[in-house]
Amino acid sequence: MAAVKNRLAGETSPYLKQHASNPVDWYPWGEEALALAQRENKPILLSVGYSACHWCHVMAHESFEDQETAALMNRLFVNIKVDREERPDLDKIYQTAHQILTQRAGGWPLTMFLSPHDQTPFFGGTYFPPEPRYGMPGFKEILQRVTQYYQEQGEDISRQTESLRDVFKRLTPVQEGQAELTGEPLTLAREALEQQFDAKCGGFGDAPKFPHATGIERLLRHWRDSAQGDTPDVQALYMAAMSMQRMIQGGIFDQVGGGFCRYSVDEYWMIPHFEKMLYDNGPLLALCTQLWQATGDELYRRAASQTADWALREMRSVEGGFYSALDADSEGEEGRFYVWTPEQLRELLDAEQYPLFAAIYGLDRPPNFEGSWHLHTFRNPEEVAGELGMSESHAQHLLEQARARLLAHRDKRVRPARDEKILTAWNGLMIRGLAMASRGLGRPELAAAATEAADFIHTRMWKDGRLLASYTEGSSRFSAYLDDYAFLAEGLMELLQCRWRSDYLAWITNLADCLLEHFQDTQQGGFFFTADDQETLIHRPKSLSDDSTPSGNAVAASVLRRLGLLLGEQRYLDASERALQAAWPALQRYPYAHCSHLQALEERVNPVEILIIRGRDEQLDDWQETCQSIFAPRRMVFAIPFAAKGLPEGIQAKAPRGEVVAYHCLGMQCSAPLENIQDLLGALAEGPGEGPKNTV
């Protein structure tokens, strides 16, 4: 007998479809559910999660698939299920409300109970067990107690509702007047990151440990900036490099197939929660590439290349966009797809490969994950190679062969589910990472993949001059959010530095105009998360801090500044300035929580370096490669063919008189034409801290 489907069966979200056969009478968020709750005066049970979330699966199996629990939910509540990846606006609001109500950080699954009349929450939590354990009451008990509280404590709920709405209004500090923007938060963040740095294992804070890519990039940029002076901050470079090294060597990085998992449950980066998210891997791909350029350490080049290979092999749709996530579970068990036994590996590897592989990855030690071995680099490959009497290069060759064999075998296993939503914002992060990796690794096929993703978004998710946020099974939906516009614009700006396309510059300009028209806070500066014509909710978020992704406000401020300088367009520069002014109180109080904003601040305090190279193809490529060969995070390099059409007037005027010409710009000032490579190298040698010697 076929299972009865609830109202989620017609949704596009893989996460919502996972719950379509639950005995819970789930509704998607929408007018039907909200009107029913108000009409019947039933509180709303809002459950927010995502398809790759392990504890979401656990709560689903324990409670939402249980007939007794479902009957209680259906009788007492209107039940709404939300995919946080499709509706990040709802997730941001109710995660914030959870933190206010409970004074604890949220997470997924998020379980909130809302008033049916205005959708304001009055109680909430995250995962609840079916029976009392972990110091928590059982979920069925929670359902009954919440209903009783709602029925008997109406006045208390009304007072709490008013208080919560007042807190929402005060969430973003207001900057009174114009502040003098200085580099002081950059220094304060550097000090705070060192205080939180785990000198033993890398990263920041205690377990569970998250990658915090924005913090590592901040340290790397701080080192690069200090390297212009007499006392380079080598400790900043060490903290960035060591953190990334330990992650790459750890179990959070897939030692067989590449790509990073969401986070580590332990301080050693050994055992992850095994889901792989596109939004982690785009920034970490970029970061590995930057560290390769900064240090020349082969470890970072390999990790960047393997992560890019994973994205193209496992996350790319036939249409060109990138999927959202891989599940933590397969065959009902977390991590089953990824773990090994020594017996399996002895069968797969030859007599020369196995001793090397086993010593490096700990197969000669006790199992580290539920009776099996999850690969984690316990010993240095060079050290083990020496003990085995082989050269380092031969050892690396054997390891590559071993990984290829294991990958081929692993591909025959039952794979974790893949969430095949294509999200504009997360694709923007991956486009940026692939574009940077293409330049840094010398792999043009990565830029080609990024271009296909961008073209897919333009074809399927750019409608009538506006973006849509999500694409699944041939259908695009949901008006896009701040992150969609900002992350995509930044990704396209990086892609323009691989291969010039005038239509991309026009598209970036359109995205910037949408930010200004529909998202900008014209009173206080900065940008709201939702557009002015999107659904009205209990709060319109304007979040400034980084979380699992960079702050959309910060990325918007950065890309608007860069675009304004490239085009000489003051309105973009003014919007970027207002965004930084709006964030200034937060940057002063908690700079380490706003590392993406600190990038925008850094480029406000110190000039962005723009190189515009015009000419014919062969020399154009040589000059561009020369300019992009080192780690220079405040440098943008645009190689524009002489025959390019549709150029803005300011760029069109920078035309070569001979074969090739370069213009070196710092901020709003540009050099005289540089018509040979020696003059160009001389201008670069002056560094971004120096002004151009000749301006026009």
Per residue, the 3-state secondary structure of 247-294, as one string, reads: HHHCCCECCCCCCECCEECCCCCCCEECCEEHHHHHHHHHHHHHHHHH
Cα gap 511→519, rounded to integer Å:
11
Cα three-residue angle 330-331-333, rounded to 5 degrees: 70
Cβ partners under 8 Å of residue 407, min gap 6: 256, 257
* pLDDT higher than threshold 50 for residue 694: no
pLDDT digits (tens, 9 = 90+) for 618-634: 789 899 999 998 999 99
pLDDT at 693: 32
Compute φ and ψ for 136, nearest 5 degrees.
-115, 150
CB 43 within 8 A of CB 34: no
Concatenate the DSSP letters of all residues of 351-402 into one string.
TTHHHHHHHHHTTTS--SBTTBB-----S-HHHHHHHTT--HHHHHHHHHHH
pLDDT in tens, 203-232: 999 999 999 999 999 999 999 999 888 899
Query: What pLDDT does 11 receive?
Result: 95
Secondary structure (DSSP) of 474-501 = TEEEEE--HHHHHHHHHHHHHHHTTS--
* Length of the chain counted residue by residue: 696
Q: Residue 607 and residue 604: Cα distance in Å, rounded? A: 7
pLDDT reported for residue 687: 57
User: 186 near 222, Cβ under 8 Å?
Assistant: yes
Q: Are 641 and 612 in contact (CB under 8 A)?
A: no
Helix (H), strand (E) at residue 468: strand 466-472
Is the pLDDT confidence value at 639 over 80? yes
Write the CATH number of the domain with boundaries 184-331+419-605: 1.50.10.10
pLDDT at 690 over 70: no
Instruction: Classify burial at 67, counting beta carbons within 10 Å of its beta carbon; exposed 0-12, middle 13-18, buried 19 or more.
Output: exposed
Question: Across residues 77-86, what is the average pLDDT?
Answer: 98
- Backbone angles phi and psi of 642, in degrees to 5: -60, -35
Question: Residues with Cβ < 8 Å from 121, sequence gap 6 or more?
Answer: 46, 94, 97, 98, 101, 112, 113, 114, 115, 164
Average pLDDT of the segment spanning 538-556: 96
- For residue 176, the model assigns a pLDDT of 78
Least reliable range by pLDDT among 53-57, 345-349, 418-422, 476-480: 53-57
**Three-class secondary structure of residue 615 per DSSP:** strand
Residue environment code for 376-389, b if the CB has 16+ CB neighbours within 10 A, otherwise e:
bbbeebeebbeeee
Please provide the average confidence, as pLDDT, over all residues in the chain: 94
* Residue 527 near residue 552 (C-beta atoms within 8 A): yes
Spatial neighbors of 167 by CB under 8 A, at least 6 apart, are 100
Dist. CA 363–CA 488, nearest whole Å: 43
Calpha distance 655→310 (Å, rounded): 40
pLDDT value at residue 213: 97
Residues 6+ apart with CB under 8 A from 401: 353
Average pLDDT for residues 244-258, to the nearest whole number? Answer: 98
What's the average model confidence in pLDDT over 308-315? 98
Give dist(CA 610, CA 566) in Å, integer. 7
What Cα–Cα distance (Å) separates residue 102 from each residue in 98, 99, 520?
6, 5, 31
Q: Which of 41-45, 133-137, 288-292, 581-585 is the least confident region?
A: 133-137
**DSSP 8-state code for residue 469:** E
- Res 170: pLDDT: 86
**How far, rounded to the nearest angstrom, does the alpha carbon of residue 144 sit from its chain's CA centroid?**
38
Q: Position 682: which residue type?
A: G
Which residues, 6+ apart, have CB-to-CB distance to 521 below 8 Å? Answer: 527, 528, 542, 582
> Where do the CATH 1.50.10.10 domains begin and end in the chain?
184-331+419-605
Through-space distance between the first and last CA atoms of the chain, rounded to whole angstroms = 79
- Who contacts 313 (Cβ-Cβ below 8 Å, separation ≥6)? 257
Write the DSSP symbol of residue 416. Answer: P
Do residues 33 and 78 touch, judged by C-beta distance below 8 A? yes
Closest CA to 376 of 262, 248, 261, 242: 248
> Peptide bond before 109: cis, by omega within 30 degrees of 0?
yes
Q: Hey, what are 454's tokens?
A: 């961008």
The rounded distance, in Å, linking the Cα atoms of 49 and 16 is: 9
Measured CA to CA, the distance from residue 124 to residue 239 in angstroms comes to: 38
Q: Is the pLDDT of residue 695 over 50?
A: no
Q: What is the DSSP string of 500-516?
A: --HHHHHHHHHHHHHII
In this predicted structure, the answer to whether residue 89 has a pLDDT above a threshold of 80 is yes
- pLDDT for 228: 82
The region that residue 26 occupies, defined by phi over 0 for left and psi between -120 and 50 for alpha, beta otherwise, is beta
Q: Which of 274, 319, 282, 258 is closest to 425 using CA atoms?
A: 282
Q: Where in the chain is the domain with CATH 3.40.30.10?
A: 14-169
Q: What value does the mean pLDDT take over residues 133-139?
A: 89
Tell me the C-alpha distance between 217 and 51, whole Å: 29
pLDDT in tens, 358-404: 999 999 999 999 999 999 999 999 999 999 999 999 999 999 999 99
Give the residue carrying structure tokens 């516009």. Answer: 485
Q: What's the Rg (C-alpha) of the chain?
A: 26
Side-chain half-sphere exposure of 302, counting CA atoms within 13 A: 16
Task: Find residue 319's DSSP bridge partners.
Answer: none
Q: What Cα–Cα distance (Å) separates residue 622 from each residue in 446, 499, 553, 627?
A: 19, 13, 36, 9
pLDDT tens per residue across span 452-492: 999 999 999 999 999 999 999 999 999 999 999 999 999 99
* SS3 label, residue 72: helix
Instruction: Give percent above pLDDT 90 in the chain.
Output: 89
Cα distance between residue 110 and residue 576, in whole Å: 34
3-class secondary structure for 97-127? HHHHHHCCCCCCCEEEEECCCCCCEEEEECC
Given a cut of 70, is residue 689 above it in pLDDT? no
| 3.40.50.720, 3.40.50.450, 3.40.30.10, 3.40.50.620: CATH of 14-169 | 3.40.30.10
- Mean pLDDT of the 123-149 span: 94
Question: Residue 42 pLDDT > 80, yes or no?
Answer: yes
